[in-house]
Amino acid sequence: MVSLAALIAFLGMNGRRLRWFNDDAYAFIMDVASGRLDDVSDIADRIASGSEER
């Protein structure tokens, strides 16, 4: 998925790394793509809670 690769690259460029399991990452991308998760603050919160500093 290009969107997941873009998220990983973005986090990496900002000194962070994603720590989700594959199923968690897939669910997140599908939630955003389908519109189930469409609030920017909620998306940012999920990314923040699923990532850590490198």
Domain regions of the chain by residue span:
2-53
- pLDDT more than 70, % of the chain: 100
- The model's pLDDT over 21-37, given as tens digits with 9 standing for 90+, comes to 999 999 999 999 999 99
pTM: 0.88
The pLDDT-based confidence of 1 (bands split at 50, 70, 90) is confident
Query: What average pLDDT does the structure give for the chain?
Result: 96
Mean pLDDT of 10-18: 98
Instruction: Indicate left, alpha or beta for 16 from its phi (over 0: left) and psi (-120 to 50: alpha).
Output: beta
d(CA 40, CA 44): 6
